[in-house]
Structure 1
C-alpha cells in the first residue's frame, strides 16, 4: 500500500481573474495613453475600478516618423484587459464601441479569453510601489513578495520609468521575477503587485527566458 501524504502534494492556486484579448482597429495612439485608455474604458464600464485586480495592460505601438508624441498600431495590436471571471459576459458591452484617445480613435472588436499560464518567469512592464528610487523600489518589492505572497525568488529590476496619471507622474520600474513556483506564479498574475492596475501597473505576464536581461537581484 502506498500513502499519498498531504505534504507531498503540489500546492495549487485557482485564479479568480482572466485575460481578455480584444481586436482593435485604428492607426495611431498617444504615446502616453494609459490614463486616457483607463478613462475611456471606465466611461463605458464604470465597475472596472471596483475590483483591485482588474487591470488594463500597456497598449504598445511603434514610433511614427512625424516626430510627435504618437505611436503607430496595426491589426496585430491587441487590447488586453484582466477582469474577474464573473465579469466576462459583461465585457461584451465593449464590442463595437469606439474609443477617443485625444483625437485618436480605436474601434474595439471581438475578444477571446486567455487563462493564466504557471510559468516560472513572469514579467511586468511597469510596477508602481509609490517609491521613486531603485533602492526604495527594491525594498518595496521584497517586502510585498515576502509579506503578502510568502515568496522569496530572484528578480530583476529594469530602468526607471515615468507614467502620467490624472493627478501626478508615477515613478516605476519594469520587473522580472524568476524561479517562481507554479502556484505563486498564478497568484501573482491573479493579484498583481503594487498600485494602479488600471494604468497597466503591476500586471504580470509569462516570460520564457531571463537570458537577455541583467543578472538577478537575489
Structure 2
C-alpha cells in the first residue's frame, strides 16, 4: 500500500484539500461537528483518511479552516457602500454585500450559529466577524452623514443594525429547518429606515 507523503497526492477530481473542506462543510451542517467523524468526511471527499490528517492533523482544524476561509470577505468596501446623504441606503447596502441568509457557504448560514455554543474557536471567529461588521457599518454611516460628530450615536446605530441582521439570519435558519417561509427582507429595510431617521434627527438637532 502506498503511503501518503504530502499534498502532491491528490484526488483525480480536483484539489484534495478543497474536497475535504467541501465535504466537512456539508456534513457538519447536517450532523453537527460532534456527530461528524473524520472517516465520514474522508469517505465523502473520496480521499484517504491519512490525507485528511495531512491537511488537518486534528478534527478541530477543519472547523478552524472553514471559519477562516468560508465566511464573507471582510472588511467591506465602505467607500462603495456609502451613499452621501442616504444612510438607509448605506445600511441596506451592507446587508446586500454580506448576503447573510443566502450566502453560498453554509458555514455562515448554519455552522457558525450552531457550533458557537460549544466551540471557543467558533465563538472567537463569530466575535471577530461581528466586531468587524460593526466597525465597517459605522464607517459607512459616517461617510453617508459626515456632519454627524456624535461617534457614540453612530456606533449605537451600527451595533443595532448588525444585531438585526444577525437575528434575521438566525430566524431564517430556524424557518428553513421547520419548512416555514422566511420573514420578508422588507422588515430589515424598515429597521434601516428607522435607524437612518434617528441619525437624521441628530443632524437636525446639531444644525439648529
Q: Which has the higher contact order (CA 8 A, sep 6+)?
A: 1
TM-score by length of 2: 0.21
TM-score by length of 1: 0.21
Task: Write 1 or 2 for the structure with the bigger share of strand.
Answer: 1
